Amino acid sequence: MNISIYTLSQYASGELKDTYEPEEIRSICRLIFMDVFHYTNIDIHIQKHENLPESFLGKFQEIIARLKQGEPIQYIIGTTEFAGLTFTVNPSTLIPRPETEELVLWIKSLAAPSSHILDIGTGSGCIAITLAHLLPDSRVTGIDISADALATASHNAMINLTKVQFRQADIFDYRPESGSRFDIIVSNPPYVRMSEKQYMQRQVVDFEPPTALFVPDKDPLLFYRQIAKFGQTHLRKNGLLFFEINEALGQDTVDLLARYPYSGIEIKKDFLGKDRFIKCTY
């Protein structure tokens, strides 16, 4: 087999055709050549027929085998892009989604330059770190129950040259520093009902951390309710609360927040036209 970018791409197309769409396969191959074999995007096009070392074949086949088992390419290469920044990801953290970038940009558009911000369930740190990058005069804290996730988030803050204070904490018993109040609280909490699990991609269900994804059908808004309660005592007057939400539970989330009560409740759609984010004022 003549080993080249072209022939390896053809091999991937044949092996992954039952798992991914053709455009996804092309994107995956581009990521492999750039992140694993260190080609530039231009190199991939102008050198696609040039011979590659035989050692490339074994590594490439190993990656394709893992992809066929459903493992996400982001976990295989160990990084992903989010809002123009690079983040390390692993099975202790969810893979940041493009939709969540929209949430971050919405927050940035409404935040004061020197805001005090809390990110609840920070995971990889993508929300907290990107806000710290976009609002360098702000003070940003991220909390998570997972020590492994926090280790990843701390590493991501370091590689992106941002200052974020991370704390291991459970929102159900989190007590910030005495008298600490926030201008903005944001969370992308678990919101997928267990009954919805059957409709999700295998790559997500089998590999991403279930505790960061799923909630019981009988109480799917348990995290939203707890964070809303927390906001009552830890948001400044006119402070803002932001969530990413389950598209099927938008009105339920509005009703919950109105009971606490929060005002100015607004649902925002994502780029796919789905109810995905919510904002309210304390």
pLDDT in tens, 192-203: 999 999 999 989
Reported pTM: 0.94
Q: What is the pLDDT of residue 217?
A: 97
Q: What is the pLDDT at residue 31?
A: 94
Over residues 96-110, the mean pLDDT reads: 98
- The model's pLDDT over 245-274, given as tens digits with 9 standing for 90+, comes to 999 999 999 999 999 989 999 999 999 999
- The overall longest dimension of the chain from CA atoms, in Å, is 67
In which band, very low, low, confident or very high, does the pLDDT at 179 lie, cut at 50, 70 and 90? confident
Residue 10 pLDDT > 80: yes
pLDDT value at residue 2 = 81
Could you give the percent of the chain with pLDDT greater than 70?
100
Whether the pLDDT of residue 180 is over 90: the answer is no
Average pLDDT of 55-65? 95
pLDDT of residue 177: 81
Cα–Cα distance measured from residue 122 to residue 119, given in angstroms and rounded to the nearest whole number: 6
Mean pLDDT of 52-73: 95
pLDDT at 1: 63
| Average pLDDT of span 226-237 | 97
pLDDT at 172 over 90: yes
pLDDT at 178 over 80: no
Look-up of token digits 């994107």: 27
pLDDT, average across residues 31-55: 93
Q: How far apart are CA 233 and CA 250, in angstroms?
A: 24
- The pLDDT > 90 percentage for the chain reads 95
